[in-house]
Structures are given as C-alpha cells and as structure tokens.
Amino acid sequence: MSLRRFDDRGWCRERDGSMDTHSLQHVTAAIDHAILHPTATDEDVERGCLAARDLGIAAVLVKPCCVPLAAGLLEGSTVAVGTTVGFPHGGSAIPTKVREAERAMDSGAVELDMVCNIGKALGRQWNDVTEDIAAVLESVHSRDMTLKVIFENCYLNEQSKEQLCRICADLGVDFAKTSTGFGTAGATREDVKLMRRLLPSAVKIKAAGGIRTLDDFFGFRESGADRIGTSSTFEIVREWRSRFGEG
C-alpha cells in the first residue's frame, strides 16, 4: 500500500514523491470559483455556490452586490465567501476602497481580492501604492479576514512586479494575485515563478485569468500558486473525473 503525505502547499504526494493527481479533493480545495462576469445573475450565483458547496471549493468569488446572497447559501459550509475591492482597475480613492471592503465584510465576505492602483504602479508612485494597500489591509486584518492584492501583471514590467512583491512582503498581505481576468492577458507561469521567488512563504500566491483546463491547473500549482482563480471550475472537475474517475 502506498503511503501519502501532504506537502506545505496542500498537495497529496505518494511515498516516492510523485504528485497524487487522483485526489479531486486537493484540486477543488485549491480553487477560488469566480462568478464575476458583468452578466452573471443571482441564479448564476445560486447555482455556482451550491455546486461549490458540494465539491468543497476553497472560495466563491462574487460581485459585491451578491455577497449577502452567497453568504446565505454557503452558511455552515467550508466554502469561503469572497468578493472584490476596486475591481477591475484599482483606481478608486483609498477611502472608497476601505469602505467597500468594510461593507463587504459586514455583508458576509471573509476574503477580499483588492486591485492595486495600477496607474500609480505604472507611474512608479510606490508610496501611493503602499498607502492604498496598507489602508485596506488594516481594515481587513482588524477583523481577521483575508486580503489578496491583485497586481494585474499584464500591464507591468518585471521591475514593477518585483516592487509590488516587496511591498506585499513588507506589509504582510495574505495573498499576491496575478490578474483580475479582465486585463489584456491573464496569469503566466513565469509570473507565478517570479512572485514565488520574491515573496516570503507567509505570502501565498493566487493565479487567475485564463486558467481553464486541468493541465492549466496542474501547471500553475507546480509553478508555485497556492490558489487558482477560475470561472471554469466545473469544466476542470469534469475533466478530472473523465481522466481519473469519480473521486
């Protein structure tokens, strides 16, 4: 009988160190299911939340207006309710972002995906970028909730990505996230590897944007992503079941 162990990123591995791809639980437990498209309705949120609950998805990410609905549907489950702050461009004023985060938490969100101020980052106005993230982080951590800071890497050069990693490390955010999924491109494995190399282990990485297949999922996890954000969750699960069985 093979012996299994869990590594520090939640992968189940065989005794010889090979990846155990035959554990659907450890696929679904690393996914943030996104229901963020502008056309997503309450019915879409209800279907997504109930399916995510059955599968043991890590979190469901919904639009701020849908947080109360998602919180009610997921009450008593292991699935976290997440929402966005300053989405998708990051250009809201700092007090607006703070208030948006507070309102979301009041409504039942426990994970907040905040877009950094992309324009300020492009302008290398790092003090402003730091102030923006720090203000939201203070509000979120005061309630023991989770903050994920979205870089939107498709717009940034390597130096800017590195500086954002340093800021997130210094502030102690919970996650650094590659993309909104609404920029000109989504996550790349090279960006995830860069972020993992620069960030301390206490800052986790979420890859999002364009991750649609099971092989995408495995590739980004192997590159260093702790969470995978995708709207293709159920397609990935169906692909896993087709390849490996029911689970």
The answer to the question of residue 74 being in a domain is yes
Pick from 17, 70, 196, 54: which is nearest to 187 by CA?
Answer: 196
Strand 5-6, strand 12-13: pairing: antiparallel
The answer to the question of residue 205 being in a domain is yes
Residues annotated as catalytic are 113, 177, 206
φ/ψ of 121, rounded to 5, equals -65, -45
pLDDT digits (tens, 9 = 90+) for 28-55: 999 999 999 999 999 999 999 999 999 9
**What pLDDT does 8 receive?**
44
The answer to the question of residue 194 being in a domain is yes
pLDDT digits (tens, 9 = 90+) for 54-66: 999 999 999 999 9
Q: How many structural domains does the chain have?
A: 1
Tokens for 126, please give them: 């790092």
Rounded Cα–Cα distance for residues 231 and 68 (Å): 20
pLDDT band at 10 (very low <50, low <70, confident <90, very high): very low
Pick from 198, 186, 246: which is nearest to 224 by CA?
Answer: 198
- pTM comes to 0.91
The answer to the question of residue 70 being in a domain is yes
Pick from 228, 147, 158: which is nearest to 186 by CA?
Answer: 228
Surface-to-core class of residue 192, CB atoms within 10 Å of its CB (0-12 exposed, 13-18 middle, 19+ buried):
buried
Q: Which structural domain range is residue 100 located in?
A: 31-244
